[in-house]
Amino acid sequence: MTLIHIQGLSKHFKILNRHEGLKGAVRDLFSGDYRTVQAVDGISLDIEPGEIVGYIGPNGAGKSTTIKMMTGILKPSAGVLQVNGLVPYDNRIRQAMIMGVVFGQRTQLWWDLPVIESFKILKEIYKVDQKMFDEHLGMFHELVGLKALYSQQARTLSLGQRMLCDITASFLHNPQVVFLDEPTIGLDVSIKAKIRSLILELNRTRNTTIILTTHDLGDVEALCRRIIIIDKGKILYDGDIKKVNALFGAYRTLKLQIKDYSEATLAALQDRLTGTFGAGHGITIAQTEDCWTDVTIDQARTPLADVLAFIMTNFTVEDVRIVEISMENVVRKIYDGALK
Ligand SMILES: Nc1ncnc2c1ncn2[C@@H]1O[C@H](COP(=O)(O)OP(=O)(O)OP(=O)(O)O)[C@@H](O)[C@H]1O
Ligand SMILES: [Mg+2]
């Protein structure tokens, strides 16, 4: 049976256009001057038990809004949404028993309590028996070695430690589905790796369905076979990651700080790259914040090392960074027909 069924789901927010100052505030009371944000705009999807689905897209795409509807926090404006056959918003308590949720930006632990006390409260709320509780904490301890942190107040934990504890808490009642909204945001590489292996292990041993949103394409590549890409509230792609992998994997961006940069430098760079690598070089250049120049390279067409060597010999580069393609760029490439 399908675990999550969504058909034509939408959510819009009505936002008051606020005016400045005291006069403005008074005017706002009566103005009726609203605008509508279409956060989720007619999406349809089905998720089967045991899947790990990457739900990704640029900032403001509608990911968190979708998750808030799936978890029953927000009521949809239109469409069908069922989790395990029930409407989440109308069955919040029953649904809570089969769901876990982690919002990377916020904690569900009681801020001033030692972590273990939060776990005990959750144990009571979800009616987890002692044996299962001990087994669960034992398993997490084996996987990520958390025990030493249990006596610490949640507010004294580092971001990464807090996230591991939050994930522990979300799986405590052995839910059928866990929603992870940006679980690796702001974390370093080693904690990210721990979180990834934890998620994989839980999915493997308990068949827990995982819905993951992230801006880290590394998370997606490590965890998900299926991805759903959403932009402006609409689904752009839903399918096997393999097809889009080329899109993520082949592109790298060189971020350059070029000495004595001017508009003319950008034009010169453009001309000389075309002169050297030919017309179909697959290199795009953009000026970004302050004095950084982004050179995005399709490695299937031109090797990154060649471009870097060329730039280093022909321009005076003060600083350079190599970054993976951003979510915004992936989406732009899909609009440009990259998946056709
Ligand atoms: N409570 C709200 N009231 C008004 N507008 C909202 C509300 N929540 C979200 N929005 C708007 O809905 C749109 C989608 O927001 P959402 O948080 O779902 O995006 P997201 O894909 O999670 O983005 P991010 O990657 O930045 O977390 C945005 O334009 C946002 O400003
Ligand atoms: Mg979000």
CB proximity list for 21: less than 8 A, separation 6 or greater: none
Closest residue by CA, ligand 1 atom 17:
64
Which of 203, 215, 206, 169 is closest to 64 using CA atoms? 215
Query: CA distances (Å), 124 to each of 82, 87, 127, 129, 174, in order?
Result: 27, 25, 5, 9, 14
Predicted local distance difference test score (pLDDT) of residue 142: 85
- Tell me how crowded residue 196 is: count the other CB atoms within 10 A of its CB: 19
- Among residues 217, 250, 275, 258, which one has the least CA distance to residue 333? 250
Q: What is the pLDDT of residue 280?
A: 80
Nearest CA owner, ligand 1 atom 7: 13
Query: Of all atoms in ligand 1, which is nearest to the CA of residue 233?
Result: 14
Whether the Cβ atoms of residue 296 and residue 275 lie closer than 8 Å to each other: no
The pair of structure tokens assigned to 40 is 């989720």
Give 232 Cα–ligand 2 centroid separation in angstroms: 13
Most confident of 17-31, 191-205, 252-266: 191-205
pTM exceeding the 0.75 threshold for the entire prediction: yes
- Cα 211 from Cα 209, distance rounded (Å): 7
Give the pLDDT confidence score for residue 80 in this predicted structure: 97
Closest alpha carbon to 43 in 83, 12, 80: 80
For residue 306, report the distance from its CA to the centre of ligand 1, in Å.
41
The ligand 1 atom nearest the CA atom of 62? 18
The ranges assigned to domains in the chain are 46-232, 250-335
DSSP line for 281-301: --EEEEE-STTEEEEEEETTT
Per-residue pLDDT tens digits for 58-96: 899 999 999 999 999 999 999 999 999 999 999 999 999
Q: pLDDT band for position 48 (50/70/90)? A: very high
Q: Is residue 312's pLDDT more than 80?
A: yes
* Interval 221-231: pLDDT, tens: 889 999 999 99
Rounded percentage of the chain residues whose pLDDT exceeds 70: 100
Q: Which residue has the higher pLDDT, 248 or 311?
A: 311
The reported pLDDT for the residue numbered 334 is: 83
Average pLDDT, integer, range 257-286: 84
The Cα 321–Cα 257 span in angstroms is: 9
Distances (CA, A) of 230 to 13, 62, 63, 233: 18, 7, 7, 6
Of all protein residues, the one whose alpha carbon is nearest to atom 10 of ligand 1 is 39
> Do the beta carbons of residue 169 and residue 101 sit within 8 Å?
no
Identify the band that residue 119 occupies on the pLDDT scale cut at 50, 70 and 90.
very high
pLDDT score recorded for residue 9: 98
- Nearest ligand 1 atom to the CA of 74 is 1
Do 142 and 174 form a contact (C-beta atoms < 8 A)?
Answer: no
> Would you say 126 and 173 are in contact if contact means Cβ atoms under 8 Å apart?
yes
- Partnered with residue 255 across adjacent β-strands are 294, 321
Q: Is 217 exposed, middle or buried (0-12, 13-18, 19+ CB in 10 A)?
A: buried
Pocket of ligand 1 (CB under 6 A): 13, 15, 37, 39, 57, 59-65
Just give the CATH number of 250-335. Answer: 3.30.70.2190
Model pLDDT for residues 157-215, shown as the tens digit of each residue:
998 899 999 999 999 999 999 999 999 988 888 888 888 988 999 999 999 999 999 98
Q: What is the pLDDT of residue 47?
A: 97
CATH 3.40.50.300 given to domain 46-232: yes
Quickly state the pLDDT bin for 335 (edges 50, 70, 90): confident
Atom of ligand 1 nearest to the CA of 11: 12
More confident residue, 114 or 300: 114
pLDDT, mean of residues 260-278: 85
Predicted local confidence at residue 133, as pLDDT? 95
| Cα separations in angstroms, 266 against 216, 221, 258, 309 | 29, 33, 10, 17
CA of 60 to the centre of ligand 1 (A): 5
CA of 340 to the centre of ligand 1 (A): 29
64 CA → ligand 2 middle, Å:
4
